[in-house]
Every structure is written in structure tokens, then in C-alpha cells.
Amino acid sequence: MNQAALHRLVSKRTKNPSPQASFDQRLNTNLSLIQQLFFSLYHIEKHNKDFEKLLKLLPKLFELRPETLRKQDLNRLEAGPWYQSEQIVGMQLYVENFNKDLKGLRKKISYLKDLGVNFIHVMPITTRPKGENDGGYAVNSYYKVDPKYGSQKDLLALTSALRKEGILLMLDFVVNHTSDEYSWAKKAKLGNQKYQEYYYTFEDRSIPDAYEKVLPEVFPETSPGNFTYIPEMEKWVMTVFNSYQWDLNYTNPAVFMEMLTNLVKLVNLGVDVVRFDALAFLWKQIGTISQNLPEAHELVSLFRMCLQVVAPGTIFLAEAIVAPTDIIKYFGEGPRLGNECEVAYNASLMALLWNSIATKKTGLLQRSLTHVPGKPKECTWINYIRCHDDIGLGYEDRFIQDLGWNPHEHRKFLLDYYCQRLNWSPSRGLLFMYNPKTGDGRITGSAASLLGLESALEQKHQQGIELALAKIIMLHGIILSFGGIPMIYAGDEIATLNDYSYTKDEAKSGDSRWVNRPMQDWGAVDKITDTELPQSKVYNKLKHLIAVRKANPVLADHNNVQLHQSGNKHIWVYERSDGNKQGIMVLCNFDEKPQVLDLGWIMKLGYFTQGNPIDLVSGTKIEVNSGLLELQPYQIIWLKKH
Ligand code: GLC
């Protein structure tokens, strides 16, 4: 039982506790865990006083929590893991690209509702440096709205409107680093010792050099190395991401407490889900790659356990784009099981789907997912196809080898396939952080362009257009039915193509991820009733699938995804079932040719007890000839058990 479940149990014993009494109860329930986590990070002899400070801080932070949110906290506490519901469908968007500013976004709530979206990840909106700022991931403040988006009042008006409409909000908490213009960084530059200790600062290169021996580079092309010399303070500072993003020094408990305060101020604006940005990097240690260290997990759990006391209705999403076995650990292990992040990005599924599109085969997908360890029952995934970042090729070599492929050559093939280095490939992706020496690289591009729509439209190739649309729909059909929260990337619902305008902007041209951060095409939305247009075809199908998802509780995430062996290397099959009467069997053909599937084993699972079952995607009964089911190129079927 995780702490949230424990809170539920304990709170049931008291009738209508006051918010204060409920806070005390939660503090008592979490206290020993908080203490244990705190002292495993900060030595007890040196930091006893700091722990006392933390204990004084928590009630103060609770005082800041607005009344409405306190009520919501109690309701959510009672509801249990509300985020596993089949009712939740997400969209990730940039405010400025979606509809100019926060007021503009509020005006588009009806659009979200029409599609069926009720959870939005709004990309960074707080103040940031004027020039390069990594799309707002270099933060000047953790909770002050950048004037280009509007005011604090506008944000509060938005969050209250969202609450009224039952739409959840996710905002980023850039927990690993601040910008070099953040108030602490500015003071550090002026020589203030206290704030220099908020970061990893060094007089000379000796310690940085020791780190560099094994530290990988996140942005080798644009920001090589992990340290930046700051002439004003005549010191080196650790900058794992861009040179203007200074890594916070969490070995200093003052940093933890200040960041906890920042976190509470952020969630008090009406945030339901906190996207814990780059959390794998939170703890550094010489001689290691300084990612996924045990202390990083303890720190995340410490944040979690404290926030749970102050604002229990808010949950955490782990932004850990790391190997599957490492991702799963962000749900917590051992005594921290279910006590770290409630949600994590299913980056493995995402990357594997792109592999299956390029290879037209499902072997690596099936093999890799079969080996992903089970997750705690209180946790869930965010399933997605594209986001604002690149697609990394983080597959496990041993599984690639199992299929008889050479991992290095296979990754090269994927880069070639997606990044316009094969003339037969329909894909229009771009390379990201390509290293010609090693051949390593990542991929960017919009879903539609990567899936061939851009090239097919250009060549006016009707069949190519249809295939691309089928691929877009199939991949969305997967994230809408695989266990977890589906997160649609704004624009993908109307098959938006690559946006090359970033190349003309100096602050963006060095970062090809901008090719997939397009303006929302409201012109296409206006024409959605013209059902023959490619954009409308995708929109209307997704709208239908979202509605179907919401009508089928078996699609809620109760760790009830079962992968099946389809018997055809192009076809991927998984089942969502309650182990009894309810079930949906998802079948996807990753090939550009029709493929057949023997239905014998599906029949044995009870899908044909009342004749041929319905495919919820097309809304019609499936046709079966001589026991074989034919799937069209890139067709997805959701077979419903009677
Ligand atoms: C996350 C964001 C990415 C950003 C990085 C640094 O990975 O998704 O866009 O560059 O954090 O903050």
C-alpha cells in the first residue's frame, strides 16, 4: 500500500475532518518516511536543524493552499487513483502557437471539448531569458507568468475555467536547473557565496574534468561539455543541458526547501499534474553518468511525500526519457513503491512504435515490451507518439541482436529512413544532435511528416496520402487504447506537417526540434466539416476513438494490458480485459500490404460467442473468411468482446 492509499484509509476513520486536521493526519502519516528520506540525503549530524526547518515549512506551505484546491484535494484523496481513468485524454500544447496567449487558450476550451480532450499539458509559461531559452525550459521564475502569455490573473482565470469544465492542467516544474538569469544565478555571479552553493560551482577545472571523464553530453552539437565558465564570478558552473541552464545543487538542503516552496506556489495556481522535468539528472556524482542515481529517486520521493502532505490532489509525472528498466523505477521501489511519481512517460512504447513503422515489423516492439517490468498498481503511463522533443533510439541492444540485426547498423537505418537519407522512404524527418564521428543521432519532425503525409501531398500521390493517414490513425489508436493516459501533441489531430520557419529565427535555428512546434492551423479546423480533407479525416477519426475510449471502462489502466503473439510478424496484438466479460482486443497491421491473422486463438478467448464481434474503430462487424481476418495496410481494429 502506498502512502496515498494509507491516507485514504486513515482519513476514512475521521468524519468530515477540517482541512487542518486532515493536513495533520497526512503529516503524521508521512513523517517517518520524510525523515528517513531527508536523512538519507542529508547527513543527520550536520543537518538536524535543516530538518527542523522543513518541519516548520510544511504548515506554512499548507497555509498558502487556496480553499477550493484544499476541497479538491480531499475529494481526490477519497477517489483513489483518479488518473487511471479511461475518461482522461490529454493534449500537449504551446500557448503562443495554439491561440496566442492565455486568454486565447481559454477561448479554445470548446475546441478541446469537441475533440474530447480533458487534460492539457501547457508548455512553459513562466518568465525566461529573452534570447535562447530552450522553449522556456530555462526559467527566470517558477510561477510568474511571462507577460507575453498574459498576467497572473489570466492564468488564474484559465485554471478556474478549466476546473469548471472538468479539464485537468499539467505544467512543468523545471526541477533540475534554472536559467542563468534566475535571481539565485544573478546573485551567484555577483560573488554571493550562499547562492554559489545553490549550484555546482568550481574554482578550476579539476573537479569538472573528473566529472567529464564519464558524463555524457545532452546537447553535444550546440552545448558540448557539462560545465560553463562564468567570467563574472571567475568560476565554472555545471550546465548539463544548455550553457545558460545552471544545474541546481541538491546536496544543499536549502535548495531542496526553496524548490519545494517554488513547487507549492506553482501548484497553488491550479495545477493538477506536475511534469517533473529532467528528473533523472537531479543528483550528480563523480565517476558516474549522474543519471538515475539512487539519491535522485530519494529526492523525487521526498518532494512527493512533502507535496502529498501540502497538496495531495496534485500528482507527479516523471519526465525520464531513459531505458525502460530505469523509467519504471520512477514509480518507486521497495519502501518508495508507488511513492515517487504516479505517472511516467512511456518513452519506450513511443520509440518502439517508430521502429515498427520503419521496419514494418513488430518483433522489437513485442520483445522489448514483454521485458518491461510491471508497474505498481497505483501508477500509470502517459502514452504518446510525438511531443516537442526528439525521438531517441534508446532500444536495448540485446533485443535488436535477438532479431539478428546489428544494433549500430539498425540505428543508422532508422536515422536514414526518417531523416531523408533513403530515397524510397516517405518520411520527412530531420536529424537532431547528429554526431558524424559516431553516427549517433536522434530524430525530429511532426508525426504527419514522419509518417509520409508531407511527401505524399507534395507528390499528389493519393495512395501515399491514404497510407500516411492510416498510419497517423493507427498510432493514435494505439495510444488511446494501451493502458495509460493518451497524450495527443497539438496539431497531430489535424495532421499538421513540419514547420520550417524556425530556420529563420536566430534563437531557434540551431535546434531542429522546433520543426515540430508549429502554429495551430485554425484554418484547417474551420474546414473540419469537409470530411474529404486529410486533416478532417484524422480529426473525425480521433474524435470517434476518444469517445469510444471513454465509453469502455476496460480501457482504464488497471495493469490490464496483455500482449499476445499474433503469429504474423507485421501484426501487433494486445488485449485490454477485466479478466471476465469485458474485453477489447487491439490488432494493428504495421505493413503497407494487407496481412492476415488466424483467428482461432482469439475465438477461444470468447470474442465470438455471439457471432462476429464489432470493430469499434470502424463501428462495423468484422468479416471473416475461412478463419482468417484480413487487415488492410496500417489498419487498426478494436475488437469488442460481447
Ligand atoms: C526536458 C524538456 C526539453 C528540455 C530539457 C531541459 O527534457 O522536454 O525540451 O530541453 O528538459 O530542460
Confidence tier at 11 by pLDDT (50, 70, 90) = confident
Count the neighbouring beta carbons within 10 Å of the beta carbon of residue 265.
15
Mean pLDDT of 61-89: 96
Query: In the structure, what pLDDT confidence band is assigned to residue 576 with cuts at 50, 70 and 90?
Result: very high
Q: Identify the pLDDT of residue 450.
A: 98
pLDDT for res 533: 97
CA distances (Å), 189 to each of 43, 195, 349, 572, in order? 28, 9, 43, 55
The confidence score (pLDDT) of residue 308 equals: 97
Catalytic residue list: 277, 319
Whether 111 is in the pocket of ligand 1, judged by its Cβ within 6 Å, is: no
In 331-469 the beta strands, taken as DSSP E runs, fall at 343-345, 380-384, 430-435, 440-444
Q: Are 123 and 170 in contact (CB under 8 A)?
A: no
Ligand 1 center to 138 CA (angstroms): 9
Which grid cell is 618? 470502424
241 pocket-lining for ligand 1 (C-beta < 6 Å): yes
Does the beta carbon of 221 sit less than 6 angstroms from any atom of ligand 1? no
Q: Is the C-beta atom of 277 inside 6 A of ligand 1?
A: yes
- Whether residue 137 has its Cβ less than 6 Å from ligand 1: yes
Residues 429-450 have pLDDT tens digits of: 999 999 888 899 999 999 999 9
Q: What is the per-residue pLDDT for 580?
A: 85
pLDDT of residue 107: 98
pLDDT band at 324 (very low <50, low <70, confident <90, very high): confident
How much is the pLDDT for 421?
96
User: Are residues 198 and 191 in contact, defined by beta-carbon separation less than 8 angstroms?
Assistant: no
Q: What is the pLDDT of residues 459-471, one digit of tens each?
A: 999 999 999 999 9
pLDDT for 554 equals 98
Its pTM stands at 0.97
Does an H or E element contain 398, and which? helix 397-402
Quote the pLDDT of residue 625: 82
**Residue 253: its pLDDT value, please?**
98
Give the single-character DSSP code of 463.
H
Distance CA 587, CA 597 (A): 9
Residues pairing with 639 in the sheet: 585, 615
Q: What is the structure's pLDDT at 371?
A: 93
- What value does the mean pLDDT take over residues 496-511? 96
Closest residue by Cα to residue 623 from 609, 601, 608: 608
CA distance 413 to 411: 5
What is the residue type of 443? I
pLDDT tens for each residue of 325-375: 899 999 999 989 999 999 999 999 999 999 999 999 999 999 999 999 899
Angle of the 363-370 helix axis to the 347-359 helix axis, nearest 10: 160
Over range 502-506, report the average pLDDT. Answer: 96
- Ligand 1 proximity of 573 Cβ (cutoff 6 Å): no
Task: Choose which residue among 92, 122, 137 to substitute to test ligand 1 binding: the one with the highest number of ligand atoms within 8 A of its C-beta.
Answer: 137
Q: How confident is the model at residue 17 (pLDDT cuts 50, 70, 90)?
A: confident
Q: Distance, CA 137 to ligand 1 centroid (Å)?
A: 6
Distance in Å, CA 500 to ligand 1 centroid: 21
Query: Looking at ligand 1, which residue's alpha carbon is closest to its atom 12?
Result: 137
Q: What is the mean pLDDT of residues 283-300?
A: 98
Backbone angles phi, psi at 268, to 5 degrees: -70, -10
Nearest CA to ligand 1 atom 9: 389
Q: Is the pLDDT of residue 306 over 90?
A: yes
Q: Ligand 1, atom 8: nearest CA belongs to which residue?
A: 389
318 Cα: distance to centroid of ligand 1 (angstroms): 12
In this prediction, residues 519-535 reach a mean pLDDT of 97
* 601 contact partners, CB below 8 Å, separation of at least 6: 564, 567
pLDDT band at 18 (very low <50, low <70, confident <90, very high): confident
Test site for ligand 1: of 279, 345, 389, 502, most ligand atoms within 8 A of the Cβ: 389
pLDDT reported for residue 221: 87
Each residue of 366-408: pLDDT tens digit? 999 999 989 999 999 999 999 999 999 999 999 999 999 999 9
pLDDT band at 224 (very low <50, low <70, confident <90, very high): very high
The answer on pLDDT for 12 being more than 90 is no
Mutate to test the pocket of ligand 1, among 219, 226, 241, 245 (most ligand atoms within 8 A of CB): 241
CA of 277 to the centre of ligand 1 (A): 7
Q: What is the pLDDT of residue 608?
A: 93
Secondary structure of the chain: what % helix, strand, coil (to 5)? 45, 15, 40
| Average pLDDT rounded to a whole number, residues 177-182 | 98
**Is the torsion defined by CA of 512, 513, 514, 516 positive or negative?**
positive
Does any ligand 1 atom lie closer than 6 A to the CB of residue 132?
Answer: no
Does pLDDT of 296 surpass 90? yes
In three-state secondary structure terms, 333 is: coil
The reply to whether ligand 1 has any atom less than 6 angstroms from the CB of 134 is yes
3-state secondary structure of 615: strand
Q: pLDDT per residue over 613-626, tens digit each?
A: 999 999 999 998 88
**Higher confidence at residue 66 or residue 221?**
66
How high is the pLDDT of residue 630?
96
- ∠ at Cα 441 (439, 446), nearest 5°? 140
pLDDT over 90 at 286, yes or no: yes
